[in-house]
Amino acid sequence: MYAVVETGGKQYKVAVGDKLKVEKIEAEAGSSIDFDRVLMIADGDQVTVGSPLVETSVTGTVLSHGKNKKIRVFKMKRRKNYRRTQGHRQFFTEVEITGIGGQKAAAKTESKSDSKSKVENKAVAASVDDPTGGDLLTTINGIGPVIEKKLHGLGITTFQQIADLDQARIDEINDQLSFKGRIEREEWVEQAKTLISS
């Protein structure tokens, strides 16, 4: 679940547990604040867009106040001997989002092993759901949706087909799709063999 809120003339996409720096808000550190200008709320497939606002609020806790890095403002008019340099540091307030509408903060932590297992589960699910009977080739590093579509055009839809590529076939694919040695450089064959064995 996430929301889009407006504060300080800027819009922010926020979820519960997010920490963000917004334009300075007059509130003490540790106090709770409400963002009343909520432009949109999305909860899974259910999206509510305000016209102009959604009748709910997003709550947060003020963590700290501070100043951003200094920026240099330089003005010059040529041939007029006019040069002015000025520095500026913008104030900000760091806020942690604690609730959206009725939803309160639930621990939003995900370990690396969890995210890795999600990728593997995604690959398994795609291989089961795919009507062509192929594998999710985008699981291999270096293959995105566009390249996957090009490989499908050549009849390559499974990890096994990539693992079985010999040098002649690799050269042929490199020429047809202008990969310029990408298959060897990104080790698609080794990655496919690893995915088959796992």
* Residue 195's pLDDT band (cuts 50, 70, 90): confident
Q: Are the CB atoms for 150 and 182 separated by under 8 Å?
A: no
Quick one: pLDDT band at residue 114, thresholds 50, 70, 90?
low
pLDDT band at 133 (very low <50, low <70, confident <90, very high): low
Q: Could you tell me if 34 and 59 are in contact, meaning their C-beta atoms sit under 8 angstroms apart?
A: yes
Percent of the chain residues topping a pLDDT of 90: 43
Specify the pTM: 0.50
pLDDT higher than threshold 70 for residue 174: yes
Q: Tell whether the model's pLDDT for residue 147 goes beyond 50.
A: yes
Whole-number pLDDT of residue 185? 76
Q: How far apart are CA 151 and CA 145, in angstroms?
A: 10
User: What is the pLDDT, as a whole number, of residue 119?
Assistant: 47
Query: What integer pLDDT is reported at residue 40 of this predicted model?
Result: 93
